[in-house]
Amino acid sequence: MAKARLTPTSYVILGLVELLKTATPYDLKRGATLGVGHFWSLPHTQLYAEPARLAEEGYLEERREREGRRRRLYRLTPRGRDALDRWRREPTAELYELRDIGLLKLFFGADPNAMAAAQLASHRDNLRAFEQLRKEAEAADVPEGVRLTLEAGIGHAREYVRFWSRLSKRLERGTELEGAPGT
């Protein structure tokens, strides 16, 4: 069997199936939304198409329900587990990809007052959501990697709240943002 090209989306699918043990594409979509989707964006269509491709390549086992909705159920195969284990063992020095529409608009001249107010409210909500997830994770038996990733998300959320709060206060005072270029 030829070695299939595995993408980050492939590894998201393999990892989610490993966590869920057996998963339908809908389970994968829900798992991505509740977990990995907080820091890795992927089109939901790939959560339906990629498992079938991975099954064809032998990374997942596909079983169809015989009755009812005849959903596709996926489980990790030994080949899939080996690929996932190899991928996890490879350290990466790649940085995250930042795609922030608020910063993009700010960069291109959006009104900082309006942007700060809207962004601060959204980032405070995001921080509260992450902190709630952490409380739930502390009460449940979640894998260490999930907890560590959640801590990174909380750190990012706090930094955004800090940035937009400082910008908002600076604008109220009419002063430069401390540490900003030109200060």
Per-domain boundaries in the chain = 8-89, 101-173
CA–CA separation, 48 and 8 (whole Å): 15
CA–CA separation, 39 and 23 (whole Å): 21
Q: What is the pLDDT of residues 145-169, one digit of tens each?
A: 888 999 999 999 999 999 999 998 8
Q: What is the pLDDT of residues 7-30, one digit of tens each?
A: 999 999 999 999 999 999 999 998
* Helix residue spans in 2-143 (DSSP H): 8-20, 25-34, 46-56, 78-89, 101-107, 112-139
pLDDT value, residue 109: 93
Q: In the predicted model, what is the mean pLDDT of residues 126-147?
A: 89
pLDDT value, residue 182: 43
pLDDT value, residue 177: 55
- The CATH code for residues 8-89 is 1.10.10.10
User: Residue 119: which of 99, 134, 132, 100 has the closest Cα?
Assistant: 100
CA–CA separation, 92 and 94 (whole Å): 5
